[in-house]
Amino acid sequence: MVSEIFSAMTKGIEGKRIVIQADVSNGLPMFNIIGYVSNEVKEAKDRVRSAIRNTGFYLPPKRISVNLAPASIRKSGTSFDLGIAIAVLAACGLIPARPTKDILFLGELALDGTVTGVSGVISMVKCSVEAGCCRCIVPQDNAHEASLITGAEVYGIRHLKDAIDIFTGKKDMEHYCYLPEEDPFLKKTELFESALISVSDFAMVCGQEDAKRALEIAAAGFHHILIDGPPGVGKTMMASCVPGILPQMTDEEYLETLLIYSVKGYLKHGIPRLTKRPFRSPSHTVTKAGMFGGGRYPVPGEISLAHRGVLFLDEIAEFPREILELFRIPLEEKKILLTRQETVYRFPADFLLIAASNPCPCGYYPSSRCTCSQTEVNKYRHKMSGPILDRIDLFVHCHNLSYEALTRSTQGESSEAIRTRVLKARRMQEERFSHRPILFNSQMSTEDIGLYCSLDQSSLRLMEQAFKTLSLTGRSYYKILKTARTIADLSESERIRTEHLEEALHYRKVGED
């Protein structure tokens, strides 16, 4: 007799529905798993066999064949264990067979039958619900993330015996129905959320008003920014303040972000409520796969983990040039495509890039403290190529602070005050792009720029002069207009005025000096 159970896997960040078929026949005792499977899936037979035995059932000495369909997709991961166990038990006649086309089984089995959490539950449940399979039996550790999908009926279990009781009808499914309001772990993570996330406040940053203003503009329109200056002037601290002034994520953005973190395996043991957008700060020792995604079975990298949030590259000139050059496509396309064995994996990468850099290897050029040769300075300053610099909207230089600035008793403007202006600018963009598939000014197309970035005669003359003086490219020209549109939004102005364009050019000019 052949039994069928439905499970799922992740391919990139997308969920794929998988049919588990089990057959028991006469022959030499054997347990085979077929269907273009990876090693961890093949190893499931040992986990399943032990889990079944330790649950009180014994498999007959027969030939057991398990097929994972469709065979055209390579199966990887441990999410099939629970489904394989139920399918084998039903095929052996140890539990009664029943229709299961509307039930999804996900979970890894320990040898004692305990069901443990798996990665990518959000995308797997999402694809199952879209296929009409709404009842989802998942590990208790994954129950909350599964419940985030609209239309999913989630049942959290802790042991293989729980799934068997549901399957055989010994216990009603409603006994295992997951209710978020009754989840003690969820309440615990929310209670300690403020302790888990630490965001600096701009009020604690001494001086650097020009850089603060540039970061405000960057946050309001999601514009990429490069901060240059000697060590110890507050570049890293200011970057860490940015999540505190960004607008809160929408429900759609929140779910999109959690899906990426779920595939990465960061949500196996519960989901703290995200009060801030993601902030990722990878080390300059990061590999290409770690930054952009990859691996034998590709998973998201740092640029995808920063999706809808901030990617901070501290000391950007210390990153290998080959990694910096790979930013060309994601900075423009807001996604990264990886090809593996004729399969294309698409990972979202719509992030705000904040880069910080010293002026030279020792950090003190052009002061007398600098110990670098001119050749070393030139090589260091040209670590970022022209095409990469052309994709950055704002450039700002931080100067050394005076003793008076450091010991001043009055604090600067708080993040809350800055965030108020950013939210006003964000609401103007929401109204402007209500019928467009974009969220921020930085995402405007050439057509959008023609509609929303018109200039008066004096601004046109200024732009013409700047284009020639600064040797602008077409890309940098449009970036200046987008930046000017954001500055106008921060001033609550419907039109771009000359002073808005001048400020946008100031931040472009600083970077070209």
Note whether 284 and 232 are within 8 A (CB): no
Rounded (10°) angle between helices 474-490 and 209-221? 100
Query: DSSP of 403-466, one letter per residue?
Result: HHHHH-SS----HHHHHHHHHHHHHHHHHHTTTSS--SGGG--HHHHHHH----HHHHHHHHHH
Confidence band, pLDDT 50/70/90 cuts, at residue 269: low
Q: What residues does 347 pair with on adjacent strands?
A: 336
**Per-residue pLDDT for 5 more than 80?**
yes
Note whether 23 and 6 are within 8 A (CB): no
Q: What residues does 135 pair with on adjacent strands?
A: 103, 153
Which DSSP helix (H) or strand (E) runs through 73? none
pTM recorded for the entire structure: 0.87
Percent of residues, the chain, with pLDDT higher than 70? 93
Give residue limits of the domains in the chain.
Answer: 2-182, 202-412
Structurally, at CATH architecture level, domain 202-412 sits in: 3-Layer(aba) Sandwich (3.40)
Per-position b or e across 50-71, b if 16+ CB within 10 A of its CB = ebbebbebebeebebbbbbbee
Using CB atoms within 10 A of its CB, is residue 510 exposed (0-12), middle (13-18) or buried (19+)? middle
Note whether 203 and 238 are within 8 A (CB): no
Residues near 157 by beta carbon (within 8 Å), at least 6 away in sequence:
107, 115, 137, 138, 139, 140, 163, 166, 176
Name the more confident of 250 and 99: 250
The 10s digit of each residue's pLDDT in 14-34 is 999 999 999 999 988 999 999
Q: Which SS3 state, helix, strand or coil, does residue 139 take?
A: strand
Q: Which SS3 state, helix, strand or coil, does residue 38 take?
A: coil
Confidence band, pLDDT 50/70/90 cuts, at residue 512: very low
The 10s digit of each residue's pLDDT in 461-503 is 999 998 988 888 889 999 999 999 999 999 999 999 999 999 9
**Dist CA 104 CA 81 (whole Å):** 12
**Dist CA 404 CA 14 (whole Å):** 55
The 10s digit of each residue's pLDDT in 118-154 is 999 999 999 999 999 999 999 998 998 898 899 999 9
Rounded (10°) angle between helices 81-91 and 44-53? 60
Cα 18 to Cα 73, 76, 333, 472, distances in angstroms: 9, 11, 31, 52
Considering all CA atoms of the chain, what is the largest pairwise distance in Å, rounded to the nearest integer? 89
- Model pLDDT, residue 182: 62
Q: Choose from 63-77, 266-280, 366-380 the range with maximum mean pLDDT.
A: 63-77
**Dist CA 64 CA 56 (whole Å):** 19
Q: Which two tokens mark 294?
A: 């990859």
The answer regarding whether domain 2-182 maps to CATH 3.40.720.10 reads no
- Model pLDDT, residue 183: 60
Residue with tokens 């990887």: 76
Confidence band, pLDDT 50/70/90 cuts, at residue 276: confident
The 10s digit of each residue's pLDDT in 84-128 is 999 999 999 998 877 777 899 999 999 999 999 999 999 999 999
Per-position b or e across 445-462, b if 16+ CB within 10 A of its CB = eeebbeebbebeeebeeb
Q: Which two tokens mark 178?
A: 């997951």
The 10s digit of each residue's pLDDT in 437-471 is 888 999 999 999 999 998 999 999 999 998 988 88
**Dist CA 125 CA 147 (whole Å):** 9
